[in-house]
Structure 1
């Protein structure tokens, strides 16, 4: 079966913008119809184009709900797409020369987009905050009522120990990070636990490399280059 030639309908929006149907037809390779008030007084032109059963692109997005309702009432099944010609071309200072641009906008709107890949992300609210000083600990305090927080400090200097241990404050640097939102995995070098007897400033015990950590969220306050370029 031979595919039906696509149809295009463009409207001057009550004479407020010029139309170059010839340029649009040449640029899109489609049959082009025009109107001055397609969404109201000339809606029958839209219904007639629908009845042909060919793919139809309408050069108006403001009144898209009106056209979609009419298409549903008519039981139309052919592809129906819309392009904003008025704000992007028809009301421009160079509107009289905008025929080719309108053709490009209409042609782009008629291209069927490929399916968008979807990924389901499940989060348990486990957050790792990376930092160098008390700023990261303060961020942890603000988030602790909502998330399961751990703070990892890189080369901390003169950081006062928290009066109450509401969440772990550890020492280390991220050697590598992989994953995505809801499923991050990190390797930590220089990993060390704080000394409970820290006084005046946080002290940490023996460090080791190659520790691993998993989390759902990462808040990086180190000021370094991002973990994921």
Structure 2
């Protein structure tokens, strides 16, 4: 059974322009071989070469000269983990440099930790679309989508809208107060929520409204012309905001 080789941490004082943090780093990284120096990128480059030749993971307290150390590792055929941490601008050159030893140790220890895989979220949609608007533009968009998707149109403070003889999809009244979620799992809190009166003749009239209604959707098409429902909305999968006055963007 082969044992993992001891990692090496190289702590540089950058030509003694900051305190030597070797002792603090040794206490903070008890499982590593800690070597302190003053110029690992020049006069003491052979010490870096020796550390890389040992085969274990190497952490160097310098990001400025990372390209140089990377080239050296490639030249030596180093196949281990080589990482860097900036302890100079973040501690050694600060006003509190004399007491920055523990911070330097923490930065180097964190740099040596393996990066965890990013969390994955599975996005799926069942084709339930909420079209959010305030006039007939939203209804027209809903009609275009209704042939292939399960559509509901939500109108915020609608004006004069002529009722259709046949409604192929629900048209409701309401203003979205809160929205959260992502593609396939949006949850909306709606105020002034009401269904249309079946007896609407000259214009669409709605019944008694209520606040705090909850609606779910897989996709939101926002044609309200107002403030986006989400910050950085361009990055929100499943949320599409279009200018209701731009027919090309709505089509």
Asked if residue 106 in structure 1 is aligned to residue 108 in structure 2, the reply is: yes
User: 1: CA distance between counterparts of 2:102 and 2:214?
Assistant: 60
What value does the CA root-mean-square deviation take over the aligned residues? 4.6
Question: What TM-score do the two structures reach when normalised by structure 1?
Answer: 0.63
User: 2: CA distance between counterparts of 1:32 and 1:215?
Assistant: 54
User: 2: CA distance between counterparts of 1:63 and 1:129?
Assistant: 54
Match of residue 58 from structure 1: 60
Match of residue 71 from structure 2: 69
Does the CA contact (< 8 Å) of 2:194 and 2:208 recur in 1? yes
1:152-200 per-position Cα deviation (integer Å, ceiling 9, x unaligned): 345x3xx54489xxxx9741467x988x4221355886344996844xx
User: 2: CA distance between counterparts of 1:13 and 1:218?
Assistant: 56
Match of residue 43 from structure 1: 45
Q: Which of 169, 190, 197 lines up with 2:194 in the alignment?
A: 190
Asked if residue 12 in structure 1 is aligned to residue 13 in structure 2, the reply is: yes
User: 1: CA distance between counterparts of 2:186 and 2:117?
Assistant: 29
Match of residue 247 from structure 2: none
Q: 1:161 to 1:38 in 2, by over 3 A?
A: farther
Match of residue 240 from structure 2: none
Partner SS state of residue 9, structure 2: strand
When the two structures are aligned, how many residues end up with a matched partner? Answer: 201
Q: 1:152 to 1:16 in 2, by over 3 A?
A: farther
User: 2: CA distance between counterparts of 1:54 and 1:5?
Assistant: 6
Does the CA contact (< 8 Å) of 2:134 and 2:159 recur in 1? no
Match of residue 23 from structure 1: 24
Does the CA contact (< 8 Å) of 1:137 and 1:169 recur in 2? no
Partner SS state of residue 103, structure 1: helix
Gaps of 5+ in 1: 131-135, 225-229
Q: 1:137 to 1:91 in 2, by over 3 A?
A: farther
User: 2: CA distance between counterparts of 1:66 and 1:17?
Assistant: 21
| 1:42 positional shift | 3.4
| 1:216 positional shift | 2.9
Q: Which of 216, 224, 228 lines up with 2:219 in the alignment?
A: 216
| 1:80 positional shift | 1.9
